[in-house]
Amino acid sequence: MLRQSFVWGPGVLMLLISATVTMAGTDITTPQGRAELVGLQIAAGEFGPALATANRAADDAERSTLLEMIATAQVQAGDFDAALGAIRNIPSNEVRTRTNEERAQQQSLNGGNGADFQTLINLITSATGQGDLPSWQDDGGEGTITWEPNGVRVDPRGLLARISTREQTGRLQALGVQSRKADLHEDMARPSEMRMVSLTRLERAVSDRLAAGQPVVESMLRLAGLTEVQYIFVDPKTNEIVIAGPAEGWKYTANGDTVGSESNHPTLQLDDLVTVLRTFSPEGENIFGCSINPRKAGLKDLKEFVETSQSRGPLDSRRTGRWVQTLGDKLGRQDIEIYGVPGDSRAARVIVEADYRMKLIGIGKLEPVASIPDYFDLLAQSPNQANGAIDALRWWLTMKYEQVLHSDDHNAFQIRGSSVLCQSENQFLNDQGEHVPTGNSEPTNRLFASNFTQHYEELAAIDPIFADMQNVFDLALVAALIRHEGLDDRVDWNRGAFATGGLYQTSHFATPQECDSVVNHRVFNGKDVVVQVAGGVRADLMAVVTDESIQQSSPRLSGVAESSKAPELPAGRWWWDAR
């Protein structure tokens, strides 16, 4: 048995010391004062507070300059992921594009900081045993990898790739959680089991700010700290549509994302809400999703290469590393297809990243939770299921809801059992390099999908991108209900700034267009090769809201709707906590 063990990580112990910046006598209400404060915060490595200071600037040009300062400092510190978080919030397209290009260029020049995990991992991802079990095991320290990825990146040319966010300088860790908490009004920072956000009031408040040339404030962008949607209420008397669910204050992650201060669950995002409202509208496609698809020529080359290799008999274990690398080379890059939402939207980035990371988990390149073993570990328990052909395994993610309850008058809706469903299918490759659907999924493939679905909540707690995708699905369900039930017509709301072509402009990111193939394989029974090649995310929320087995009447919701009505609120207030 060939035994190999690799560990990727620093071999040093760092003592982290927290630093705090104060500026006595400086007026941070002026552009000069804010610039000085940001400069000092950057010098101390306090990027979270620096971002908060920059976001206080009402002028787009000033805010662009300050965020560029922060992103440049983060790039110089080697923290490319955090820099991306600052860059994506730069209002100026010119400044944002320039800064992002500089970041990408510097990352490519850094060599070791943008570590080439593919070469390292390819060395230990193959097995060519002659017996029932692979000769190269991936557990018990015999062929293990320790790799700490935290997402994907998309370069200015649209190439998606894995990244590692191990902090090269330790600065963000040194600051601690407290320094990255958002500066919030006390009421908004207080956790609430049921916070109400009036979409109609929020849209008017956003419209007023945009009309006055003012930026949309952080509390609006984070939907008052909502981390989940549990209810949708309609009040025809006050012409309001209200969403409700648990909420809390938030803090900033190393990537610049916002998560609950206590739960660490990603907050809902206004950008995502507006994106899906436009998808589920008369002008939209009313469905969205993505797919990462291998190219026909690559699949054909892969099939021919594997068949030629098999015809030559067992492969020498000393050549397995090169053989696996050739698999990836033959397959080449894969195309990323995004539909229903803009390819440069945040929602698109979330679903593409979740799809990509699901693949990595499925083929054993990521092991975030022990309760979701990869396909090869499952197949090793029943190696006779390998059938001698080249199997193409397909997994895709879609929404999963137990029930969507509604009151008799359809003024209140409750979402129950929100989750994500992983589905599977076995495909085969024909001589033209096409992967042909079979409509069937063999037991091991089904078991992986079942485990992924059953333990999705556990996975989402470890890997925020999966919680983020569930948030996108929940907001999409809200948008689909508004569309299907005609809720906007009932309250005489034309969606205003949130409508297609409305004043509110969502953030723009580099559109993911292609990615290098992530290939893993094992040889079972000395001859059977299994590769994973396709996946996707599909969000058909209209199918959910029209499914009578899911959407059912619940008389008790009438009372809940009554208690959800807004108390007397100050002018411009668009959220409140349930009484």
Quote the CA–CA distance of 109 and 100 in Å, as a whole number: 14
Whether residue 308 is found in the same domain as residue 292: yes
Q: Are residues 180 and 287 in the same domain?
A: no
The band of 68, judged by pLDDT with boundaries at 50, 70 and 90, is very high
Q: Which residue has the higher pLDDT, 216 or 116?
A: 216
Residue 98 or 164, more confident: 98
For Cα atoms 398, 400, 404, give the angle at the middle one, nearest 5 degrees: 135
Exposed, middle or buried: residue 99 (CB in 10 Å: 0-12, 13-18, 19+)?
buried
In angstroms, the Cα distances linking 371 to 230, 265, 421, 463, 520 are 27, 20, 16, 14, 20
- Give the model confidence (pLDDT) of 411-429 as tens digits: 888 888 888 888 877 654 4
pLDDT for residue 444 is more than 70:
yes
Looking at the domain assignment, is residue 258 inside a domain? yes
Average pLDDT of span 551-574: 72
Amino acid 506: pLDDT:
94
Buried b (16+ CB within 10 A) or exposed e, 481-491: bbbbbebbebb
What is the SS3 string spanning 394-432? EEEEEEECCEEEECCCCCEEEEECCEEEEEEEEEEECCC
Q: Which amino acid is at 430?
A: N
With a cut of 50, say whether residue 2 has pLDDT above it: no
Q: 474 and 434, same structural domain?
A: yes
In the 8-state DSSP scheme, what is residue 564? Answer: T
Does any domain span residue 579? yes
CA dihedral for 32, 34, 38, 44, sign (positive or negative): positive
pLDDT at 377: 85
The tens digit of pLDDT for each residue in 194-231 reads: 999 999 999 999 999 999 999 899 899 999 999 999 99
Length of the chain: 579
Q: Are residues 312 and 233 in the same domain?
A: yes
List C-alpha distances in Å: 144 to 5, 131, 163, 365, 552.
5, 21, 19, 11, 49
Are residues 465 and 495 both part of a single domain?
Answer: yes
Residue 148 lies in a domain: no
What confidence category does residue 524 fall into, taking pLDDT thresholds of 50, 70 and 90? low
Which residues have CB under 8 Å from 442's CB, separation 6+? 385, 426
Residues 256 and 405 grouped into a single domain: yes
Exposed/middle/buried for residue 15 (C-beta within 10 Å: 0-12, 13-18, 19+): exposed
pLDDT of residue 200: 97
Asked if residue 276 has pLDDT above 90, the reply is yes
Residues 162 and 275 both lie in one domain: no
Give the whole-number percent of the chain exceeding pLDDT 90.
29
pLDDT at residue 440 in the model? 64
Give 3-state DSSP helix, strand, coil % of the chain, rounded to 5. 40, 20, 40
166 and 212 both lie in a single domain: no
More confident residue, 41 or 432: 41
Which one, of 374, 509, 515, lies nearest residue 87 by Cα? 509
Three-state DSSP state, 221: helix
Q: Which residue has better confidence, 212 or 322?
A: 212
Q: CA-CA distance, 460 to 232, in Å (whole number)? A: 24
- Comparing 240-254, 372-386, 411-425, the range with the smallest average pLDDT is 372-386
Q: How many domains does the chain have?
A: 2
Query: Same domain, yes or no, for 276 and 367?
Result: yes
pLDDT: is 535 or 470 the higher one? 470
B/e letters for 199-235, b = 16+ CB within 10 Å, e = fewer, are bbbbbbbbbebbeeeebbebbbbbbbbbbbbbbbbbb
Q: What is the 3-state secondary structure (H, E, C) of 165-216?
A: CCCCCCHHHHHCCHHHECCCCHHHHCCEEEEEEEHHHHHHHHHHHHHCCCCC
Same domain, 207 and 88: no
Same domain for 237 and 359, yes or no, is yes
Q: What sign does the CA torsion over 455, 459, 461, 466 have?
A: negative
Does residue 495 form part of some domain? Answer: yes
Query: Domain for residue 125, yes or no?
Result: no
Average pLDDT over residues 280-297: 89
pLDDT reported for residue 268: 98
Structure tokens at 518: 């992530």
Residue 95 domain flag? yes
Among all chains, which residue has been given the structure tokens 């193409």? 392
User: Widest CA span of the chain, in angstroms?
Assistant: 80
The 3-class SS string of 32-100 reads: HHHHHHHHHHHHCCCHHHHHHHHHCCCCHHHHHHHHHHHHHHHHHCCCHHHHHHHHCCCCCHHHHHHHH
Tell me: pLDDT of 368 over 50. yes
The more confidently predicted of residues 85 and 345 is 345
Is residue 459 scored above 90 in pLDDT?
A: yes
Residue 150 in any domain: the answer is no
pLDDT of 572 reads 81
354 band by pLDDT with thresholds 50, 70 and 90: very high
- Most confident range (mean pLDDT) of 159-168, 248-257, 420-429, 536-545 is 248-257
Alpha-carbon span 38 to 53, nearest angstrom = 7
What average pLDDT does the segment 530-535 reach? 52
Cβ(82)–Cβ(254) under 8 Å? yes
- Write down the pLDDT at residue 177: 34
Residue 324: pLDDT band by 50, 70, 90 thresholds?
A: confident
Report the helix count and the strand count for the chain, using DSSP H and E: 21, 20
Contact, 98 vs 181, CB < 8 A?
no
* Cα distances (angstroms) measured from residue 433 to each of 150, 436, 466, 547: 33, 9, 32, 37
362 secondary structure, DSSP code = H
Beta strands in 253-360 (DSSP E): 258-260, 288-294, 333-339
Mean pLDDT over 137-150 rounds to 27
Range of the domain at 33: 1-114+158-184
Please tell me which residue, 186 or 370, carries the higher pLDDT value.
370
**Mean pLDDT over all residues of the chain?**
74
**Above 50 in pLDDT, residue 478?**
yes
* Residue 11 lies inside a defined structural domain of this protein: yes
Give me the DSSP letters along 455-522: THHHHHHH-HHHHHHHHHHHHHHHHHHHHHHTHHHHTT---GGGSTT-S------PPP-EEE----EE
Arithmetic mean of pLDDT, 75-99: 82
* Token digits of residue 540: 């058909």
DSSP 355: H
Average pLDDT over residues 37-59: 83
CA atoms within 13 A on the CB side of 223: 29
d(CA 446, CA 164): 30
DSSP code at position 125: S
Comparing 222 with 94, the larger pLDDT belongs to 222
Same domain, 201 and 168: no
